[in-house]
Amino acid sequence: MKAPRRYDAGMRAIRYHEIGGPDVLRMEEVSDPTAGPGQVRIRVKAAGVNFADTERRRGLYDAAAPLPRILGSEAAGVVDQVGAGVDSRWIGKRVVALALQSYAELATTSVDELLELPEHVSFEEAAGLLVQGLTAWHLLFTSAQVRKGDRVLIHAAAGGVGLLAIQLAKTLGAVVLGTVSSEEKAALAREAGADEVFVYGGAESVSDWVKQVTGGSGVELVLDSVGASTWASSLESLAPFGHLVAYGNASGPPPALEVEALYAKSLKVSAYWLRTPHPAALQRQAREALGQALADGRLRVKLGLVVGLEEATRAHQQLESRATVGKVVLRVA
Ligand SMILES: NC(=O)c1ccc[n+]([C@@H]2O[C@H](COP(=O)([O-])OP(=O)(O)OC[C@H]3O[C@@H](n4cnc5c(N)ncnc54)[C@H](OP(=O)(O)O)[C@@H]3O)[C@@H](O)[C@H]2O)c1
């Protein structure tokens, strides 16, 4: 799969030419991108892998994007070029940023997306901060405003978003309940701060378990990224006036929402998407809060699988088969 590096004209990147399984990902040599006005170019050291990348590859997300296409949505590395209007002092800085097409040796992004990294934060850890961290942050601070003592149920609790959401919810004083599919994942969720963890597979339903650990009342907030297979139990697990935030469909889309079903407990259902245009100041606040928390050790990125860029297919296979914990990262030489 390894394509030879041609330093004069091209870079190595992971592209797909058709929609399909992990095997459609190919290491190829393509032209170097150039930083446009207001942009920088990053020499990528580590690219974050996200569940959405697998959905894009399967055609469930961004289906109209022309192919072939380089995958990716975030990169950590060193700025090596600035476009018109960008301060040249960015060159040489260690940074992380949301950057599309980051499964590559070089990626471009707006200078406004950059977060400078201190020396002691590794590129791999940084590559796990933004897509999943911003999502977790906005779920807890923007979509919901979690308060001390609130009970929060987090599905896929040992996943990338899940482990970060647990840590952030604990800083707000929440009581965190998580669901996971294995004992190994349960241990990681507890290590991240979860107070109670449900492991799928037993006779008890998630909602009965939630009732039991909350003394019958249910939770104030559910963060649901699993969709089809968790939707009904998420609604059943809510306390009166509770809030379900939907933000993913790992098991498939949930059933159509029946507003009638919300009346009995006066429930609220909302959705969150990181690509919704966010107020710039709010996004800066979230990015800087996450960067600061990572730098001073209050927030940890659990690196579950770190493989070379040429192993993108394996990274996708592992992520889609629920075999990963925490963050999946592609290391770029
Ligand atoms: N709305 C947004 O802007 C946004 C942004 C980022 C991520 N997301 C969504 O958030 C979710 C988590 O993303 P992530 O990148 O951090 O992934 P992840 O949580 O590390 O991996 C997905 C996890 O989902 C759980 N899962 C449950 N049913 C599954 C199924 N049928 N197939 C595969 N996985 C299943 C698995 O955990 P268990 O085995 O423990 O159940 C799996 O490990 C994804 O649904 C993603 O699309 C949304």
Identify which of 100, 322, 327 to mutate to test ligand 1's pocket (most ligand atoms within 8 A of the CB). Answer: 322
3-state secondary structure of 243: strand
Mean pLDDT across the chain: 96
Distance CA 251, CA 256 (A): 15
Q: What is the pLDDT of residues 157-188, one digit of tens each?
A: 999 999 999 999 999 999 999 999 999 999 99
pLDDT above 80: residue 35: yes
Most informative mutation of 225, 229, 251 for ligand 1 (most atoms within 8 A of CB): 225
Report the separation in Å between the CA atom of 320 and the middle of ligand 1, taken as the mean of its atom positions.
9
Helices 160-171 and 183-192: angle between axes, nearest 10 degrees: 30
Distance of CA 29 from the midpoint of ligand 1 (Å): 30
Query: Which domains does the chain carry?
Result: 10-129+301-331 (3.90.180.10), 132-271 (3.40.50.720)
Question: Which tops the pLDDT comparison, 257 or 9?
Answer: 257
SS (H, E, C) 163-200: HHHHHHHHHCCCEEEEEECCHHHHHHHHHHCCCEEEEC
Cα–Cα distance, 269 to 245 (Å, whole number): 6
Helix (H) or strand (E) holding 293: helix 280-295
Q: Is the pLDDT of residue 29 over 80?
A: yes
Sequence-ordered list of residues with C-beta below 8 angstroms from that of 53, at least 6 positions apart, any chain: 71, 72, 73, 103, 316
Q: Which of 49, 51, 275 to mutate to test the pocket of ligand 1 (most atoms within 8 A of CB)?
A: 51
State which of 56, 154, 155, 161 you would mutate to test the pocket of ligand 1, scoring each by most atoms of that ligand within 8 A of its C-beta. Answer: 161
pLDDT at 62: 84
Average the pLDDT over 247-263 and give the result: 96
Atom 11 (ligand 1): residue with closest C-alpha? 225
Residue 75 has pLDDT above 80, yes or no: yes
**Residues lining ligand 1, CB < 6 A?**
50-52, 131-132, 135, 156, 158-162, 180-181, 185, 225-226, 229, 247-248, 250-251, 272-274, 319-320, 322, 324
Give the Å distance between the CA of 208 and the centre of ligand 1: 23
Rounded to the nearest whole angstrom, what is the distance from the C-alpha of residue 157 to the centroid of ligand 1? 9
Q: Please write the tens of the pLDDT for every residue from 85-134.
A: 999 999 999 999 999 999 999 999 999 999 999 999 999 999 999 999 99
In angstroms, what is the span from residue 33 Cα to ligand 1's centroid? 30
Protein residue with its CA nearest to atom 24 in ligand 1 = 156
pLDDT tens by residue, 124-146 = 999 999 999 999 999 999 999 99
* 217 touches 242 (CB < 8 A): no
Cα–Cα dist 48/129, whole Å: 9
Q: What is the pLDDT of residues 5-21, one digit of tens each?
A: 544 569 999 999 999 99
Ligand 1 centroid distance, CA of 187 (Å): 18
